[in-house]
Every structure is written in structure tokens, then in C-alpha cells.
Amino acid sequence: MALDPQAQAYLNFQKEIGAPNVITNGVYLTRKASHENLHIAGPIATTADISHRFISTPTADIAIRIYTPKGEGPFGGMMFFHGGGWVLNHINKYDSQLVDISAGTNSVVISVNYQKSPEHKFPIPLDDCYSATEWFFEHASEMNVYTNKIGVAGDSAGATLSAAISLRSRDEKAFKLAYQALMYPATALDFETSSYLEYATGLGLTREGMMCFWDAYISEADKTNPYAVVSEASDLSNLPPAIIAIPEYDVLRDETVSYSKALAKAGNTVINKEFPGQIHGFFAHAGMVDASYQLRRFLIESINSLIKN
């Protein structure tokens, strides 16, 4: 279908305010701008309580934000990793989304402000997120969370981190995840797919921008490491059920579809949904794009179907 007029209005707004991008304006100015216009994510409900703390990972103390549903529990659990090409963004941009998901799934949600590239390249962002997930499992009882109902989720680069944690936790047997919710993950290094070429510019995330993010995140030696580039995994069996969101107008569309099919072929449960007319990143656009709420509902309903027992 045609590009959603609300998605186009969002793109127009970004252009009107002169939103910087990492290629032309550099990392610092682009990060600085990401702290503005938080209303784009939509209003923040009061159906979950928000708290903050720091936890230690192998290389740093990092901030986490904890969303706890109203009521006494027991609860499910979600680890959430934000997008931004492993370079940009922060946990302050996701209160609206994660309050709704916490309440809708009756889950304690922990959002992780992992260290960013290029200052901290792979595997540091992944190690932060993996260690934070281990921490959640270790502290689940004090949060009244069922360990068999803890999953991982993320958008864009955060979805890539979630997919990598799903692989690594299977391999290391450190904990067993209930699901992996992947919103338009970056899964491969093929920049010649139809979606990369067709949607290369003008729709938010660009082909050149995605190449820049990959270069910031990984070194040459990491390109065949499945924990960095998940499509490089030789074995995709015995992974957590996958919930996958696929926007139509996204350079990552084709690789998201391919990864979804590969997971299903390997025998995993896959719940996927295409979002016609939508662009990359629309999970964070509920203040301007109604389909962002549709995505929240899809995640909530899918997660509930997997952790209901």
C-alpha cells in the first residue's frame, strides 16, 4: 500500500525541525538531539510504576529503568533493548511504550541503557544486555516474577541484540527465555536486497545510515560472528518463540522476512505481522502515528499467548 500519511507527516516533521543524522552531523549532535521531542512516543499512562537503578556489567555500571504493573503479581518479565543503530538513543524515549506493555502483559519490564558504539564496539553492548538479563533472572524472586515467563524484546538494533541473546543463552544454557520479540531487526550484511535498494533514502533509516551503524558496531573479524550478525548462525534450532514486526517501507524489510522464515524452517514458533505503509522505527512514533499503537497491541497479544500458562 502507499506510505501511511501519518508516517509521511512524521518524516516531514523531522525535516522541518532539521533533525540531525549521524552521517552529516556526527554522533554527538545526533545523540544530543535524541533527548528532544519525547512527545513523539505518545502520552505516558499511569498503569505501571517506573523506578530506576544501576547494575554492574563486565565493563561498566549501567542504568536500567524498571516498569512494574499495578497489583501484587506474580508477574511475567521482559528485558527491553532500545534501537538506534547501537550508537544512538536511550531509555528515556520508551516510557509510553513500555508502561503499556508492562500493564498489558502483567510483566515487569526492564529497559537497559547499554553502552554505545563506536566508543564501545561489539561485544560490549551485547555483553551489557546479556549480563542485565542474567541479573533479572537472578533477582526475579524478589520482583515476584516467574522465571519461565521472562522474554527479551527490542526494536531495530535492540531487536538484533535480543536475537543474539536468544542464540547465546541457548548455547551457554545460562537461562531459558520465554520469547524473543523482534521489531525490524538488523540481521544481515547484504546491502543489495530489494528493500535496501528501493527504500535507500527518504524514509528515515537510509541504506547509507545502516551501513554506517554496522561499521560503528562491529569490526571486520566480527562479520561472521553469529552473536553480532545473527544470520551467520549455522544452527537456528531450539530458540525461544519469535514475535516479529515487519514494516513495509524499511531497508531491513527483506532481511527481517528472511530471518523470520529461517527461524520457522528451523522448527521454532514464529508469530509475525506485516505493517503496510509503515517505516522503520515506528514503535517510537505513537504521538504521531496510530499504527504504533497497533504494534503495541500486537506485541501484547502475542506475548500473552505465549506466557498465559
Residues tagged active-site:
156, 250, 280
Report the first-to-last Cα separation within the chain, whole angstroms: 37
* Cα separation, 235 vs 231, whole angstroms: 10
Other Cβ atoms closer than 10 A to 72? 7
Q: Do 152 and 165 meet the contact criterion of CB atoms below 8 Å apart?
A: yes
- The counts of H helices and E strands in the chain are 9, 8
Question: Residue 101, exposed/middle/buried by CB under 10 A (0-12, 13-18, 19+)?
Answer: buried
Dist CA 75 CA 284 (whole Å): 25
3-class secondary structure per residue, 69-138? ECCCCCEEEEEEECCCCCCCCCHHHCHHHHHHHHHHHCEEEEEECCCCCCCCCCCHHHHHHHHHHHHHHH
Coil/strand/helix, residue 156: coil
Specify burial of residue 262 (Cβ count, 10 A radius: 0-12, 13-18, 19+).
Answer: middle
The C-alpha atoms of residue 69 and residue 59 are separated, in whole angstroms, by 31
